[in-house]
Every structure is written in C-alpha cells, then in structure tokens.
C-alpha cells in the first residue's frame, strides 16, 4: 500500500473531523415543522452548532429574512408558548392542527413537547384541506385568521357547519386578526377565537392583548401619539399597536389586531452591561444584527462589569424615547449576550473554518 493510500485509510478510520455521513442532522421533523407549504422549497443547509435552529420571517409583502434562534433563548420562548396554550384552554396532551408549518418555529418544538402536545398539519395548503380536517373532528387549530375565516364561511356555504366539532378553539396567528373571524366562529356552538401575536425572531409575545413575557415594553411613537412600538427585552420588534380594550379580551390592553409596521425603525443603544470587555458588547451587537435584523449600538462610554444592563431606545440620530434597566426589562437582550459569551468560550476545532492551522 502506498503512502497516499495509507494516509487515506488512516484518515477514514481515525480522522478527527467528521465525515459527511457522521455530521448531526436536523430535519423538518426534528424541528416539528414537517408539513406542506406552497411558499417554500425544502433545502438542506449547514446550520452553526451555536444555533438551536434557523427559520425565516413570514415575508408576505417582502423577501423573507433569515432568523437564527440560539439555544439560550429556548427556555423563555418555550415558556411563552406553553403560557399561550394554557390561556387558550388547550388541554395538555391535545393535538394541534397547524395550517402553516413554520408557525411551530415560533412556539419552538420544545414548547409543544413540554406541554405534551403534538402538531400535525393539513394535507395540502388549501382551504378545502382545512375544512376536511375540521369535519374530521380537529378541535384546536392554529392558523392565519383570514384563512380560518374563509374555511368557516365555506363550511356554512356548503352546509357542513353541523359536521364541525363543538367547542372549537381557533388560535389566529401569523397575521393581524381578521375582524370577521369572531363573527363566523360565533355561529358555531361553543367556538372560541384567540389572537396570538409574535414573530419568528422572538417567539410568541402577546395573546388577546395580554403579554406572554415579562420583558414586554411599550414605547409611544413620536409621529403618532395613538400608536406604540412593542419591544421585547429591550429590542424593538418593528411593529406598532394602538392601546385599549382588545376586541377578544376587555382586559387585554395591547390591540394586536391594529398591527402596522413602524415607518420609524428604532435602534437600541447599550450603555452598560455585565461583560468584561466592550468587545463582547460589540460582538453581541453584530450577532443580533445578523440573526435578528435589529440594529444595536454600543455607547462610546459603555460601562463594563455593571450589575444590570442599561440601554436606551430611540430613532437613528435622534434623542432616546425611553431608557430601560435590567434584569427583567432587558431579559431578551441579556439572553443574547449570554449566547455570545458562551460562543466565545467554545473552541473552534475545524481548521478549515478557522482559515489557519
């Protein structure tokens, strides 16, 4: 055996880097989103080990944006998902029918596992497929509100209303609440409608006007006194809402049915944090831009080693609109700082990735 052949044999048997067949794989089923959509193709990709998974914004009117979800975010994201299911009255262990598979990414599969529930999907991404599932007894449904409303109207028009289950629970998610959905549901015995707001970047945030997380903050829009920006853990979501009684819950003060994208993109500026160097704060800012598409500035006077995170939020180049101090109000941002610190402590073992030996 020649030297080259011997090297190849040794590489196959004892090499430290993985073979392609040895690499860990995360499938659609592993993420809990193994269902059909007409808006996607199925594509394999290399996902960094420091991310729990990758997903995309919905992008109904613009190109979708890639979103990275870190492992450190999963506990809070899963807790919000569990809280949403509890408030909707979904029994633990109940099966969820989901009309759009990527919505499971907003719960995270871990939330459903913790709740003892499993998501299944309509056979095809079409109203008749949803109607067939409803006529087969599906009681707990998560989907876009206009899609749900159209399916109920089809049921009435086709004389199938009596085939639908009693006490139907419709959880409208992914788009602003269709004002006619509740009226259509009211024609069915015991049916309920819930308005679930969130985004792929941060998970579920508000249900029927009531926050699902303790780090939700509202900031008045300087150009429209009636609208408020919604922030999670010090990071702007980019969405604005009016305040008042939510149409499905008089005690819910955030009218998520009035959602509009903010024409004013707010930026977060870090003033102080519990990190040992300003470089870590700068790296966190770049990480957040890359995986959440949110602009984070680091003040030239940033204070390292502070007990609590301090930050301001405001328009680019303008005066701050509010200042927040942790730990509760800045929880999301602090979680991403934790992810960055953990990443910096991990050894990079792939010499090809490191670009040096």
pLDDT of residue 10: 85
The helix (H) or strand (E) run that includes residue 38 is none
Beta-sheet pairing, 192-199 with 169-173: parallel
DSSP 8-class letter at 181: H
Structure tokens at 264: 């004013």
DSSP 8-class letter at 264: S
- How does pLDDT run across 280-307, given as a tens digit for each residue? 999 999 999 999 999 999 999 999 999 9
Find all residues with CB under 8 Å of 319, minimum gap 6, and list them.
none
Residue 177: Cβ within 10 Å count: 27
pLDDT of residue 160: 95
- How does pLDDT run across 243-272, given as a tens digit for each residue? 999 999 999 999 999 999 888 889 999 999
Distance CA 12, CA 273 (A): 47
pLDDT of residue 125: 95
- Whole-prediction pTM value? 0.93
Closest C-alpha to 185, from 195, 170, 173: 170
Distance CA 172, CA 193 (A): 7
The helix (H) or strand (E) run that includes residue 168 is none
Return the CATH fold of 68-214. Answer: Rossmann fold (3.40.50)
Q: 104-133 burial by CB neighbour count: b if 16+ within 10 A, else e?
A: bbbbbbbbbebbebebebbeebebebbbbb
Distance CA 211, CA 196 (A): 10
The residue ranges of every structural domain in the chain are 68-214, 267-345
Distance CA 247, CA 265 (A): 28
Structure tokens at 306: 């502070």
Structure tokens at 227: 């609208």
In contact, 181 and 172? CB cutoff 8 Å: yes
In contact, 99 and 122? CB cutoff 8 Å: yes
Q: What is the mean pLDDT of the chain?
A: 93
DSSP track, 92-131: TTPEEEESSTTHHHHH-HHHHHHHT-EEEE-SSSSHHHHH
Mean pLDDT of the 12-38 span:
90
State the pLDDT confidence band at 279, using cuts at 50, 70 and 90.
very high
User: What separation, in Å, do the N-terminal and C-terminal C-alpha atoms of the chain show?
Assistant: 28
Q: Scan for tokens 């941060």, then name that residue.
A: 202
């Amino acid at each position: 055996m020649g030297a080259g052949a011997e090297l190849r044999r040794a590489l196959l048997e004892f090499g430290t880097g993985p073979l392609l067949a040895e690499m860990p794989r995360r499938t659609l089923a592993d993420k809990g989103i193994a269902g059909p959509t007409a808006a996607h193709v199925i594509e394999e990709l290399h996902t960094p080990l420091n991310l729990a998974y990758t997903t995309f914004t919905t992008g109904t009117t613009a190109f979708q944006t890639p979103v990275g979800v870190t492992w450190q975010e999963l506990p809070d994201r899963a807790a919000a998902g569990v809280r949403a299911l509890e408030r909707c009255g979904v029994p633990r262990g109940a099966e969820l029918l989901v009309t759009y598979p990527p919505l499971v990414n907003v719960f995270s599969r871990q939330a459903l596992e913790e709740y003892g529930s499993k998501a299944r999907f309509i056979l095809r991404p079409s109203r008749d497929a949803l109607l067939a599932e409803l006529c087969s007894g599906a009681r707990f449904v998560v989907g876009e509100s206009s899609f749900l409303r159209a399916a109920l109207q089809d049921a009435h028009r086709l004389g199938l209303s009596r085939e639908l289950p009693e006490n139907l629970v419709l959880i409208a998610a992914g788009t602003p609440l269709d004002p006619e959905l509740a009226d259509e549901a009211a024609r069915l015995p015991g049916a309920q409608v819930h308005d679930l707001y969130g985004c792929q970047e941060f998970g579920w945030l508000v249900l029927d006007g009531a926050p699902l997380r303790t780090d939700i903050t509202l900031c008045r829009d300087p150009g429209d006194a009636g609208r408020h920006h919604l922030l999670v853990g010090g990071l702007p979501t980019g969405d604005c809402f009016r305040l008042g009684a939510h149409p499905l819950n008089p005690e819910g003060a955030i009218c998520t049915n009035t959602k509009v994208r903010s024409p004013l993109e707010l930026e977060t500026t870090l003033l102080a944090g519990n990190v040992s160097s300003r470089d870590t704060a700068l790296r966190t800012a770049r990480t957040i831009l890359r995986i959440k598409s949110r602009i984070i500035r680091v003040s030239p006077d940033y204070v390292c080693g502070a007990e609590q995170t301090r930050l301001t939020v405001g328009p680019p180049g303008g005066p701050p609109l509010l200042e927040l101090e942790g730990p509760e109000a800045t929880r999301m941002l602090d979680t991403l700082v934790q992810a960055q610190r953990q990443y910096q402590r991990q050894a990079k073992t792939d010499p090809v990735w490191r670009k040096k030996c």
